[in-house]
Amino acid sequence: MPRYALKLEYHGGPFAGWQRQADQPSVQAALESALRRLESDAPKVAAAGRTDAGVHAGAQVAHCDLAREWDGFRLMEALNAHLRPAPVAVLAAARVEAEFHARFSAIERRYTYRVVARRAPPALEAGLVWHHRQALDIEAMRAGAAHLLGRHDFTTFRAALCQAPSPVKTLDALEIEEIALDHGAEFRFHLRARSFLHNQVRSIVGTLARVGTGAWEPARVGRALAARDRAACGPVAPPQGLCLTGVGYPRDPFA
C-alpha cells in the first residue's frame, strides 16, 4: 500500500487533542473520517506529536497508507473538501517511502507559545494566546530560560502522567521575543528539541512567567530543574497559547 505524508494545520479549541477519544472529538478522528470518505477501509493515521486538548498546530505531520495511488495535490484537495467545517486543513500531501513514520522518523519538533500581557482581554486573538494580566520582564525570563538549555533530567517540568520512558531530554533552543502592542506586549516563546515530555513546554512557559513578574528570581529556575521534583515547578500555562510550528526530518517529505 502506498504511504502518504500529510502536513496539517488545525485550531485545537474544539478538540480533546490529537489522539482519538471514545466519546470526544479529536483531530485524528476528523482526519480518519475524511480519509474513509475517500477509501472506506482506510487505516488509522499516525502523527509526529500528540497535541493536548486545546493545543494548535501550524505544521503537524501525519502519515497514512492508502489502497490506491494519489497525486499529492488531489489528495490534499479531496481531504480538505471532506474535513469541512472542522477547523483542520491539509496544507500538503506527498508520497513517501514505506519506511517513513511521522513520529519515529522525526529528528526535531518546534513549538511556539504566545502570551499577551495586558490588562484588557484579547478579542481578536481569543483562544490563540494566554492572556496574562501582569507585565513581564523579557530579560529576566531569558536569564531563567538559560538554565534549561541543553541535556537535562526534566522531571520537574514533566506531567505526572507522562508516559515517556525517560525524563532526560535535550532542549536545543529556547528563544523569547517581545512584540510591542498598543496597550501591552506579546511574548513568543520558541522551543526546539528532538522530542518533548508531556506538558514540558507549558510547564516551562508557566515557570518563566513567574520569573517575568518578579515572583521568582531567574536562578530559581535552575534550582527547580535540579530538584527533579514536579512540586518545584511553576504553574502550567494554559493550552490555548501553544502551537506545534514545525517537525523536522532527515529529508523534507514535502520538498
Active-site residue list: 52
Of the candidates 144, 149, 65, 129, the one whose C-alpha atom is nearest the C-alpha of residue 102 is: 65
- Helix (H) or strand (E) segment spanning residue 191: strand 184-193
> What are the grid coordinates assigned to 241, written together?
497559547
Residues facing residue 158 across a β-bridge: none
Contact yes or no for 31/113 (Cβ under 8 A): no
Give residue 162's Cα distance to chain centre: 15
- What is the b/e burial string over 113-136, where b = at least 16 CB atoms within 10 angstroms of the residue's CB? bbbbbbeeebeeeeebbbbbeeeb
